[in-house]
């Protein structure tokens, strides 16, 4: 009887990972675009504050994983650098949601493998098999086609989205370089525990300078509509849940399974967002996105075989 229970637990974890990933994406879009809460940096700071507090609760109090301590000042500065790149990726991603529909945002985001391969080559001179590079052609071609066929295309939103995707890829490559030695490796939950508070330190001055009086505006908004408080609290908790379920799904399945599920998640997010927000889509745009997803699947398969 243990096996079905184990399978049921894993299915529940995967469902939670999907729900939190797609949920935070859709709620970000609703708040930043439909609701009119046009403060992406403050929203990201709320996410990082929640990740700081909940990470500490999960590790220090609930003992979900053993706490890993920082070994040196150098390791701290490496994590700070990762945190800055991570901040940029999340802020730019949230800014792009103000201008682009979730469906197109996901199409652009699917090009992460392309940027990862480029940064890995530039920074580590790591060469992949020629077939792996070949699979990146449909990844990029699909986004070019999707951009041409996107009815709600917005140039600034597109630049922000591409920048967010590139920063996300850069963070993963940097993480491999900076925390490569055995003494410096941190599991994803401990890494978040140290990265999130540093991110808040980066985001606080950026919020005060670029989104002036956002706290006053939020308080004033809350007086008229208390739902905004619950939206922000729930959204921030979801942002942490994304990281927690990501860690747990990897632990109970494998990194490869997570990658496959991630490819499918993008497609599910596109369908759900179109059903909820009813943003216009074109046949050309959907064909382009489908081509990108096929390219990402082929890229994952090629990487798996090269190992």
The pLDDT score that the predictor gives to residue 2 is 40
The residue-averaged pLDDT of 93-99 equals 96
The pLDDT score that the predictor gives to residue 307 is 67
Q: Hey, is 298 helix, strand or coil? A: helix
The pLDDT score that the predictor gives to residue 83 is 97
Residues 172, 179: Cα–Cα separation, whole Å: 11
Contacts of 292 (CB under 8 A, 6+ apart): 107, 110, 111, 138, 139, 141, 142, 143, 146
Whether pLDDT at 1 is above 80: no
Mean pLDDT, the chain, whole residue set: 92
Q: Hey, is 70 helix, strand or coil? A: coil
Whether pLDDT at 227 is above 60: yes
CB 103 within 8 A of CB 143: no
CB 198 within 8 A of CB 78: no
CB 102 within 8 A of CB 26: yes
- pLDDT tens digit string along 246-282? 999 988 887 767 777 887 888 889 899 999 998 888 9
Between 2-11, 24-33, 44-53, 169-178, the lowest mean confidence (pLDDT) is in 2-11
Alpha helices in 211-282 (DSSP H): 214-224, 227-252, 255-277
The pLDDT score that the predictor gives to residue 259 is 74
The pLDDT score that the predictor gives to residue 245 is 94
Residue closest to 150 by CA, chosen among 269, 277, 288:
288
Residues 178, 184: Cα–Cα separation, whole Å: 8
For 82, half-sphere exposure in the C-beta direction (CA atoms, 13 angstrom radius) is: 24
Residue closest to 264 by CA, chosen among 97, 16, 18:
18
Tokens of 192: 């978040």
Fill in the DSSP letter of residue 282. Answer: -
Exposed/middle/buried for 213, CB within 10 Å: 0-12, 13-18, 19+? Answer: exposed
Query: How many other CB atoms are there within 10 angstroms of residue 82's CB atom?
Result: 22
Residues 259, 7: Cα–Cα separation, whole Å: 19
CB 85 within 8 A of CB 171: yes
- pLDDT tens digit string along 22-43? 999 999 999 999 998 999 999 9
The pLDDT score that the predictor gives to residue 46 is 97
The pLDDT score that the predictor gives to residue 5 is 55
Percent of the chain predicted with pLDDT > 90: 77
Residues 243, 190: Cα–Cα separation, whole Å: 11
Per DSSP, the residues of 178-218 read HT-STTT---HHHHHHHHHHHHHHHHHHHHHHHSTTHHHHH
Residues 159, 232: Cα–Cα separation, whole Å: 26
Tokens of 243: 């990281």
């Amino acid at each position: 009887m243990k096996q079905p229970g184990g399978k049921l637990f894993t299915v529940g974890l995967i469902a939670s990972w999907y729900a939190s990933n797609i949920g935070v994406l859709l709620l970000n879009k609703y708040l930043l675009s439909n609701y009119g809460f046009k403060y992406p940096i403050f929203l990201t700071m709320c996410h990082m504050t929640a990740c700081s507090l909940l990470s500490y609760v999960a590790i220090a109090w609930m003992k979900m994983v053993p706490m890993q301590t920082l070994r040196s000042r150098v390791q701290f500065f490496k994590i700070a650098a990762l945190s800055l790149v991570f901040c940029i990726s999340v802020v730019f991603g949230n800014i792009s949601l103000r201008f682009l529909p979730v469906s197109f945002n996901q199409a652009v985001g699917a090009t992460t493998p392309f940027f990862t391969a480029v940064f890995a080559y530039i920074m580590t001179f790591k060469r992949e098999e020629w077939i792996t590079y070949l699979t990146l052609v449909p990844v990029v071609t699909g986004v070019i086609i999707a951009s041409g066929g996107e009815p709600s295309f917005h140039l600034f939103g597109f630049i922000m989205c591409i920048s967010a995707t590139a920063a996300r890829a850069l963070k993963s490559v940097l993480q491999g370089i900076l925390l490569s030695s055995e003494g410096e490796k941190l599991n994803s939950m401990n890494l978040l525990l140290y990265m999130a508070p540093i991110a808040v330190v980066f985001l606080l001055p950026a919020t005060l300078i670029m989104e002036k009086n956002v706290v006053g505006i939020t308080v004033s908004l809350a007086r008229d509509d208390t739902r905004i408080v619950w939206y922000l609290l729930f959204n921030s908790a979801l942002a942490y849940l994304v990281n927690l379920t990501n860690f747990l799904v990897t632990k109970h399945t494998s990194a490869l399974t997570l990658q496959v599920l991630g490819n499918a998640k993008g497609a599910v997010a596109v369908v759900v967002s179109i059903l909820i927000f009813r943003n216009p889509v074109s046949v050309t745009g959907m064909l382009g996105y489908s081509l990108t997803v096929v390219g990402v699947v082929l890229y994952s398969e090629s990487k798996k075989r090269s190992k």
